[in-house]
Chains A and B, each alone.
Chain A
Amino acid sequence: MTATLERPAAKANKRSVTPARIALHVFLVLTCLMTLAPLLWAMYASLRTYEDTSVNGYFSLAESLTFENFAKAWEIGNLPQYYWNTLLITIPALVVTLLLSSMVAFGVARFSFKFNIALLMLFTAGNLLPQQVIVTPLWRLYRLIELPVWMSESESLIDSQLGVILIHIAFQMGFCTFVLSNYMKTIPYELTEAARVDGASVFRQYWQLTLPLCRPVLAALATLEFTWIYNDFLWALVLIQDGDKMPVTSALQNLKGTFFTDNNLIAAGSLLVALPTLVVFFVLQRQFVGGLTLGSTKG
């Protein structure tokens, strides 16, 4: 993925240390430290006790470091339930988004029909709309759509995780379709042509031939979409009313009230909520960066 982002490291080329180089490194190190500072500060605060910081202030040497706040935030904030809610929304939304958008991408990239480009433009444009343009009628629409109890306890799409999953799918499809169709256009046409001549159906050309070739880009998109859907705040805030069904990012709002005065606890809670995305970033950074690059540099 990042092959284009990284020039081959020139190991053999030992460069002389010039003052300009040193200045550059100093500048970059300082910039990086400043970038990391807010997170490091939150981490530092989260490791200190309330007694310590209320006596000495936050800008002081810690008397002792402890993981107590994390345990407390985990328990008081009821984080396991909110993580579970997030998982219930994120995984289905992610899988269906990739599935549906790869189908559209396959269609527009591989076949020529009248509304080919128009369809792709519609999807791309839809993804760029500010969510607030959609949210009011969507909220009302969701109250109209009735569902059996086994699908949603509230008997409609409002206040149901299914509703949040649906809007994620509909909204995120635009970006994924755009990226996937660009990628599929670079797969030699002769491949599907040959399969077609051999009698492969359209679905087999898609499922058994094209999709496996798209593995790298699907991995990149999965990484990105996981982060985005996980980070969603607005959809769940508006479409879910029952606090117990909130995903973890929106539930942060509830934590704030609970922890009102204890900033150390808020810091610990914030870091716990950030943890899954941070892990994804560190483990799958190539996919993350590659996906964003793919999505926006189609000039």
Chain B
Amino acid sequence: MTALQEKPQAAVPGGPPPRRRGKRATALAGTDKLVLGLMLGIPAVVHLLFVWIPALGSVALSFSEWNGIGGFEDIEWIGVGNYVEIFTEYPRFWPAVQHNLIWLVFLLVVPTSAGLLLAVLLDRELRFSRVYQSALYLPMVLSLALVGFIWQLIYTPDGGLLNSVLGLDKPVDWIGDSDINLYAVLVAAAWRHTGYIMLLYLAGLKSVDPALKEAAALDGASSAQTFFRVTFPVMKPVNIVVLVVTVIEALRAFDIVYVINKGRNGLELLSVLVTDNIIGEASRIGRGSAVAVVLLTISLGFIITYLYQVFSKENRT
């Protein structure tokens, strides 16, 4: 809420720079220093120990050969061998990369445009607007694992909703056919993702200064022109958030394919290749970690973009 309220102020060109509150130097007494140190230190240690150290651990293990069960003395350091293997020999790697890419492109195109369209439609005085919004947000609260279960009832070849509605002579096996199951799953994932995008864009649209739109209208711009030339560019911060959220979502995708068929037969994803080494058949920690590092590298690129967007105040438009 407040983050939104701050924005218009910051948007005034030539206005006073945003005040940096709470940054005054304060001399602290000894006890206070200790208390503050603990208040920051304990959470930081927990976060580092369980998030960042394991992340670095993945990088280290990616240069090793290890089954993960034995002690650390069993670790054999083999340099970049795992990377060479996943890029050249490992048959599931490139299909997984391709599926993750399709996942990303699909999410960037379908739910993003649907969410944006719905946000634009709902961003006006409209009767029942709350009801519409509730219905559209609803899938967001379901876990992706549950989404997988619920959509299987639609896709199942024996009496599923989709085949019945289409009334085909020969029922299509939406989940079992490796040529189409990725897209079937993506529709389900998009179903859940659209509400979130709509929410982000609705908030973004509310924060656009109405004076901008009025000025454009006065200059004779049509509403489509106003949207594409004025409103959409002004929403750049939201667009970046949407991009980052979608990329991360695409890289994390796991639950839904795992409950459907454990990520096999056309549903291979990078996340599945990593997890298979712990709970699946393979137990090659080094190779799995190399895949994890690929994930880490891609995600860091977008995380840094996001941090730059969020933490550089000058960048606010």
Task: Give the B-binding residues of A (Cβ under 8 A).
Answer: 1, 3-7, 9-10, 13, 15, 24-25, 27-29, 31-32, 35-39, 41-42, 45, 53, 57-59, 100-101, 103-104, 106-112, 116-117, 119-126, 128-141, 166-167, 169-171, 173-174, 177, 182-186, 188-189, 192, 196, 201-203, 206, 216, 227, 230-234, 237-238, 249-250, 252-253, 256, 263, 266-267, 269-270, 273-274, 277-278, 280-282, 285, 288-290, 292-294, 296-299
Contact = CB atoms under 8 A, between A and B. Distances in A.
A112 B306 CA distance: 23
B199 A289 contact: yes
Interface in B116-140: 118, 121-122, 125-139
26 contacts: A15-B125, A28-B118, A28-B122, A32-B132, A35-B136, A36-B135, A59-B159, A100-B46, A104-B43, A107-B40, A125-B304, A137-B53, A138-B54, A141-B57, A167-B50, A170-B47, A196-B26, A234-B255, A238-B275, A250-B145, A266-B149, A274-B141, A297-B200, A297-B204, A297-B238, A299-B317
B55 interface: yes
A174 B126 CA distance: 36
B154 A185 contact: no
A57 B159 contact: yes
Contacts of B63: none
A153 to B, nearest CB: 20
B138 A5 contact: no
B57 A137 contact: yes
B271 interface: yes
A135 B275 contact: yes
B130 A126 contact: no
Contacts of B160: 58
B170 interface: no
Given A28-B121, A38-B154, A274-B142, A133 B259 contact: no
A253 B247 CA distance: 27
**Chain A, interface SS category:** helix
Chain B interface size band reads 35 or more
B35 interface: yes
A35 B21 contact: no
B39 A107 contact: yes
B288 interface: yes
**Chain B, interface SS category:** helix
Interface string B229-243: 000000001100100
Given A24-B126, A250-B145, 15 more contacts: A28-B122, A112-B24, A126-B51, A131-B271, A135-B292, A137-B61, A138-B50, A141-B53, A171-B50, A171-B51, A192-B22, A233-B144, A274-B146, A277-B143, A294-B3
A216 B302 CA distance: 30
Given A100-B43, A274-B146, A4 B292 contact: no
A53 B159 contact: yes
A13 B126 CA distance: 11
Contacts of A119: 40, 44
B36 A111 contact: yes
Contact of A130 (B4, B39, B121, B299): B299
A6 B130 contact: yes
Interface in B141-194: 141-146, 149-154, 156, 159-161, 164-165, 188, 191, 194
Interface in B3-35: 3-7, 10, 21-26, 28, 31-32, 35
A13 B125 contact: yes
Contacts, number: 357
Given A5-B202, A129-B55, A237-B279, A32 B136 contact: yes
Contacts of B207: 4, 297, 299
Nearest to B255: A233
A133 B277 CA distance: 13
B21 A185 contact: yes
Interface in B47-88: 47-55, 57-58, 61, 68
B162 to A, nearest CB: 10
A103 B40 contact: yes
Interface in B216-275: 237-238, 241, 244-245, 248, 251-252, 254-255, 258-259, 270-271, 274-275
Interface string B275-315: 10111000001001100110110010011101101110000
Contacts of B46: 100, 166, 169-170, 173
A45 B44 contact: no
Contacts of A108: 40
The 6 closest A-B pairs by CB, nearest first: A137-B57, A299-B237, A59-B164, A231-B143, A170-B50, A32-B135
B206 interface: yes
Nearest to A298: B3
Contacts of B109: none
A4 B259 CA distance: 38
Contact of A9 (B1, B10, B125, B165): B125
